[in-house]
Structure formats: structure tokens, C-alpha cells
């Protein structure tokens, strides 16, 4: 099993088989428009523009399960991202990434590459506190700890690496480059 075995919904509710992305390097991200990490859209879009012609895709999945930081409709979220950050990479329908209603793709990703830590430093310690409070609701199905968790997928459809939102975007970019 790999990511190509999953089907997700686009912003209009139509099924999209991830097998459409076979042979590409993917960065799958759960996002939110009102999060402290929302500025990640800027380096994500820059990476997308720089590497999309080399077979790189970013798949954006808005999620409102973390302090209600993505409250808008799919269209409102898309409009915000395109107007504020100029995003052009594919954005899918808003999903849940935790709990009984978690999207199967994210349950799979997080089970295959479980959370290890947010790293060190004040930002990481603060995020851990908020994450722990938020994720008590989901128990053992708290797959994703916060917005802007990123999964790097190789051209073969297998998970290469998981990046928590506290991971420096230069590290993420370096890992993407290693797959291209």
C-alpha cells in the first residue's frame, strides 16, 4: 500500500485518485488560514513554482481541527490562499485529520510516519502544550499534532519523511530536492 491507493475529494467534492500523481514527488500538507504557521504558504508556493516542472506537487488539505483555525468554506479558504499568498498548487476539500472522522489518507500517513517531537526551543514547547490539550479529544486517533504537518512522498508513492510545523522550511526544501 502507498499513497496512490487513496482517493480524496477536490474542492468541488469530486473524487481524485492520488494515482494521478504517480511518478511525482509530493508534499502533502494539512493547512489552516488562521494559524501562526499560515506564513508557510509563502515558502511552499516558492518551492512549488521553482520545482513543479521537475515533477513536484504540493497537495494542500485544509483542516479546522486545531483551535478552529480554518473556519471558512472551501471556496473562502481557496480565495484567501490565492489572494494573500498567490498559491497555485492543488488545494483539496477541507478534511479532518484526527479522530473517528479522520481522512483515511492522513490516518495512513501518520500511522506509517508517527509523530516524534516538535523539536527544541520555546516555540516547540508552547506548541506541544497546545497540541496536547487539543489532541486529548482524539485519544489514540490524534494522528496529526498541528496545522502544517508535511509528508514528503517519493516518486514511488512511499512516504520518505514527516515534518512537523516547527521544522525549518529550508530543511523541508532540502529533503524535497533530494527526491527530485
Asked about 35 being catalytic, the answer comes back as yes
Long-range contacts, stretch 127-132, CB < 8 angstroms, 24+ apart? 127/165, 127/166, 130/67
> Reduced to 3 DSSP states, what percent helix, strand and coil does the chain have, rounded to the nearest 5?
40, 20, 40
3 state DSSP class of 145: coil
> Could you tell me if 97 and 143 are in contact, meaning their C-beta atoms sit under 8 angstroms apart?
yes
Phi/psi for 124 (5° steps) reads: -65, -40
Dmax of the chain from CA atoms? 42
Cα–Cα distance, 109 to 162 (Å, whole number): 9
Cell reading at 93: 476539500
- The answer to whether 87 and 41 are in contact (CB under 8 A) is yes
Which residue of the set 26, 27, 29, 35 is catalytic?
Answer: 35
Q: Cα-atom radius of gyration of the chain, to the nearest Å?
A: 15
Residues with a catalytic annotation lie at 35
Amino acid at each position: 500500500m502507498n499513497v496512490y491507493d487513496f482517493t480524496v475529494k477536490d474542492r468541488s467534492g469530486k473524487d481524485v485518485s492520488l494515482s494521478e500523481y504517480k511518478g511525482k514527488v509530493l508534499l502533502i500538507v494539512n493547512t489552516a488560514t488562521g494559524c501562526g504557521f499560515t506564513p508557510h504558504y509563502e515558502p511552499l508556493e516558492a518551492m512549488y513554482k521553482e520545482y513543479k516542472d521537475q515533477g513536484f506537487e504540493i497537495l494542500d488539505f485544509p483542516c479546522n481541527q486545531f483551535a478552529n483555525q480554518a473556519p471558512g468554506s472551501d471556496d473562502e479558504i481557496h480565495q484567501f490562499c490565492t489572494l494573500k499568498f498567490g498559491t497555485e498548487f492543488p488545494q483539496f476539500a477541507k478534511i479532518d485529520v484526527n479522530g473517528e472522522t479522520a481522512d483515511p489518507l492522513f490516518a495512513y500517513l501518520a500511522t506509517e510516519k508517527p509523530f516524534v517531537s516538535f523539536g527544541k526551543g520555546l516555540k516547540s514547547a508552547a506548541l506541544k502544550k497546545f497540541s496536547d490539550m487539543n489532541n486529548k479529544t482524539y485519544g489514540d486517533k490524534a494522528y496529526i499534532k498541528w496545522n502544517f504537518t508535511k509528508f514528503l512522498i517519493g516518486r514511488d508513492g512511499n512516504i520518505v519523511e514527516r515534518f512537523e510545523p516547527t521544522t525549518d522550511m529550508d530543511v523541508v526544501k532540502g529533503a524535497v530536492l533530494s527526491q527530485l
